[in-house]
Structure 1
Amino acid sequence: MKIINISSRSDLIGALASSFCLIHCVATPLLFTFPIVNSANNNHGHNLWWGILDLVFLGISLLAVNKSATHTTKSWVGYALWGTWGSLALIILNEKISLIPIWEEAIYLPAIALVFLHIYNRKYCRCGNEKCCAVK
């Protein structure tokens, strides 16, 4: 017995993961401006677990994008989901390794786009059965 059927709820899971990612990204600079948080972290500026949340949200989003893109009735939505997820992944990985300088707020655009794409796909692009789920 499956507790969560990711195929039927991939857009909901993706929208939630992207929303939590967005909240996480907005809260990070606000949270770590407080001196009490920085002193509790030995002045490193962030906890390891807080930084790992980026990757957790990215992984959940990957699963959701994969299912949503393969079960959409509009091919452009699938391509948009993958392109947006790819740009989000590049921004997050660049932030981790500091390869090229990108302004901090750049992460908001793909996160917001993923939320809207999942909501759009859930409302307008879902097929009723498995036979129509091939990307057209």
Structure 2
Amino acid sequence: MEFAKLTAKLDNIGMTASTLCAIHCALVPIFITVLPLIGLGFLANPWFEWGMIILAFIIGISSISSSYFRMHKRWLPLLLLSIGFTVIILGHLFITGWLEGIIVPLGGFTIAMAHFINYKYVGACKVCNHESH
């Protein structure tokens, strides 16, 4: 599979995962008492949440850093990815209650935006024939 297609798939997965993570972080505090009753108690488990963060981090670093070094050389997706993960991690570690349900999803949406911008940059490089082989 050519590099640009692989990167596009990773960016699509990253955008989807980051958006789902943001939705998860916003809704779990609201529905925390109902989740076990409907068999979704694992969604409020810290291990599940940190697993999602680690998975999103691996996908983000793989997709965005490789696109940066091999194709577009633009720093904005890397900056947004870094800001997004910083917000999520600091939000999980130092913020509790309803404020966490606002701050952490903002980090997830920032990561999704990083993937979207990276996707656009890679597409522009393909059109302009800047792809490295």
State TM-score, norm by structure 2. Answer: 0.70
Q: Please say which structure displays the higher CA radius of gyration.
A: 1
Report the RMSD for the aligned CA atoms in angstroms. 3.1
Segment of structure 1 superposing worse, 82-91 or 45-54:
45-54
Give 1:70's aligned amino acid: F
Cα distance change of structure 1 residues 38 and 60 upon mapping to structure 2, 3 Å threshold: same
Looking at structure 2, the residues matched to 97 and 49 of structure 1 have their Cα atoms a distance apart, in angstroms, of 15
Give the deviation of 1:82 after TM superposition: 1.1
Measure the CA separation in 2 of the matches of 1:110 and 1:63.
17
- 1:11 aligned residue: 8
Structure 1 segments unaligned to the other structure (5+ residues): 131-136
Q: What is the identity, as a one-letter code, of the residue corresponding to 1:57?
A: A
TM-fit CA distance, 1:26: 0.8
Q: Report the CA distance between 1:65 and its aligned residue.
A: 1.1
Aligned partners of 1:109 and 1:17: how far apart in 2? 11
User: What are structure 2's unaligned runs of at least 5 residues?
Assistant: none
> Bigger CA drift: 13-22 or 86-95?
13-22
Q: Label 1:29 to 1:115 Cα distance change in 2 as closer, same or farther (>3 A).
A: same
Q: Name the aligned partner's letter for residue 95 of structure 1.
A: G
Contact 1:19 1:115 in 2 (8 A): no
1:11–1:68 contact (8 Å) kept in structure 2:
no
1:111 alignment counterpart:
111
Supply the AA of the counterpart residue of 2:20: I
Query: What aligned pairs does 1:50-61 form with structure 2 within 5 A after superposition?
Result: 50-61=49-60
Could you tell me which residue of structure 1 aligns to residue 44 of structure 2? 46
Query: Which structure has more helix as a fraction of its residues?
Result: 2
| CA shift for structure 1 position 45 | 7.9
The superposition leaves residues 52-81 of structure 1 with CA deviations (integer Å, 9 ceiling, x where unpaired) of: 2122111211111111111224x3xx2011
- Partners of 1:37 and 1:51 in 2: CA distance: 18
SS in 2 for 1:35: coil
Which of the residues 70, 75, 87 maps onto 2:83?
Answer: 87
3-state DSSP of counterpart to 1:125: helix
- Aligned-pair distance for 1:120? 0.6
Q: Are the equivalent residues in 1 in contact too, given 2:11–2:118 (CA < 8 A)?
A: yes
The CA distance in 1 between the partners of 2:43 and 2:62, in whole Å, is: 30
Are the aligned partners of 2:68 and 2:75 in contact in 1 as well (CA < 8 Å)?
A: yes
| C-alpha distance 124-29 of structure 1, shift in aligned 2 (>3 A) | same
- Alignment-mate amino acid for residue 71 of structure 2: T
The alpha-carbon deviation at position 117 of structure 1 amounts to 0.9
